Amino acid sequence: MSNICLIIKRIFSKGKYNNFYYFPYKIRNLDGIRNMSIKAALVDLSGTLHVEDQPTPKAVEALKRLRDSGVAIKFVTNTTKESRQTLLNRLLAIGFQLQKEEIYSSLSAAVLYVNKNNLNPYYLVSKDARTDFPDNDDKRPLDSVVVGLAPDEFYYENLNKAFNILLNNKNAKLVAIHEGKYYKRKDGLALGPGCFVKGLEYAAGVESVLIGKPNEYFFKNALIDGVNLDECVMIGDVRCKN
């Protein structure tokens, strides 16, 4: 993990990143954040604060110091395998102090999108993640496909059902909770949901609606009340030289 640094990104109102600030895991003071007129930090989880059931080096201490700086915090993540409650339990168990209401995941954004658009989707998500979504309406046809990280669900019959829903309804939406190429596990990198989303796009001749990071929709809905985009930083992980 020695070649991974925290990257702090200043977010501006156009939805683009600018002004990059790097802080190695060896914690430095947070005067830089205070001097940036920052009111809130959006903090990534997987790969930044933890990898599976292990906190990343110095992450627990870094989060405490960030809280002590007076900056409001929202935890944002593209994690789609776990419900918000399961994710909270995992983080509490490995030493982090946070509240369920502070977690905003791409699942949270997808639930908002499904409800706002009154969709009745076919879900390619994990069983745990499915508990965050509303129940299907059996009196209505399936009118969309929602795809998250679901290793146990990505087999031929399920993918073929999703394909046919998209193919047979010209108005059907393909909702990509995120399009990650891969994610980090203890044993290395593992395949993400992006290739399955792209496969359905190609086969059905549709374009997906991206919900999670780095979509502007995600960040706008993640904002803490009373805070503008230009008053936030995004803290995540990136490969960089020491």
Domains of the chain, CATH where assigned? 4-78+223-239 (no CATH), 108-210 (3.40.50.1000)
Length of the chain: 242
pLDDT tens per residue across span 56-107:
888 999 899 888 888 899 999 888 888 888 999 999 999 999 999 999 989 8
Q: Point out which residues pair with 151 in neighbouring strands.
A: none
Taking the model in full, what pTM does it have? 0.72
Rounded CA separation 18/73 (Å): 20
33 confidence band (pLDDT: 50, 70, 90): low
The yes-or-no verdict on residue 5 having pLDDT over 50 is no
pLDDT of residue 14: 36
Phi, psi dihedrals of residue 196, rounded to the nearest 5°: -75, -35
Instruction: Answer whether residue 2 shows pLDDT above 70.
Output: no
CA distances from 201 to 42, 147, 151, 198, 229 (A): 31, 12, 19, 5, 31
Please enumerate, as own/partner, the contacts of 224-228 that have beta carbons within 8 Å and a separation of 24 or more: 224/39, 224/40, 224/72, 224/74, 227/39, 227/40, 227/72, 228/13
Predicted local distance difference test score (pLDDT) of residue 17: 37
Instruction: Give yes or no for a contact between 122 and 114, defined as CB atoms under 8 angstroms apart.
Output: no
